[in-house]
Amino acid sequence: MPDALKIERIGQAGIRVHELDRAVAFYRDVLGLQFLFRVPNLAFFDCGGVRILLDVVTDPEFDHPSSVFYFSVSDLPEQHARLRAHGVETVTPPHKIATLGDREIWMAFFRDPDRNVHALMSEVPVAAGSGTKEETS
C-alpha cells in the first residue's frame, strides 16, 4: 500500500455565491472577515490564517450549497445577537452541542445571503459554561 499523503493544513476553502458584491459585503461587513483581494468572479478573505474564496459558480456541477463553516467566537450569545441585528437568518439559536471534559461546545447556525448554512461556535470552560443560558428566538 502506498504511503499516505502528508497534508499540512487547509490552505483555502471555497464558498459558492451568486452575487459577489452582496457576498463580499456580508463576509466583510457582517462577519468581519479580513478582505484580502478581488478578481473577476472571485473574492478572497482571511479567517485566522485560512483563506476563504467566494466564487461565483458558473458550472452547474459546482452550483450547490457549500460545506458548513464553523466560525469560532469567544462570546457566542453576543455574536449571535449581532448576526440578528444585521438581519441575518438564523437557523438555530445558541445551544450546547456537547460537554468534552473541561469544556462545553456551543453552536448557533445561520444562513448567508446565498442560503449556505454556517455556524458560530464557542468552547466554554465548564465552570463558566454552567451559567450559560440558551438564547431563544
Q: Please name every residue paired with 35 in a beta bridge, in sequence order, or none if there are none.
A: 45
pLDDT tens digits, one per residue of 27-86: 999 999 999 999 999 999 999 999 999 999 888 888 888 899 999 999 999 999 999 999
State the cell numbers at 57: 459558480
Span 8-58: which CATH code? 3.10.180.10
CA distance 83 to 88: 5
Fold designation for 65-130: 2,3-Dihydroxybiphenyl 1,2-Dioxygenase; domain 1 (3.10.180)
Looking at the chain, which residues constitute the CATH 3.10.180.10 domain(s)?
Answer: 8-58, 65-130
Closest CA to 124 of 96, 93, 84: 96
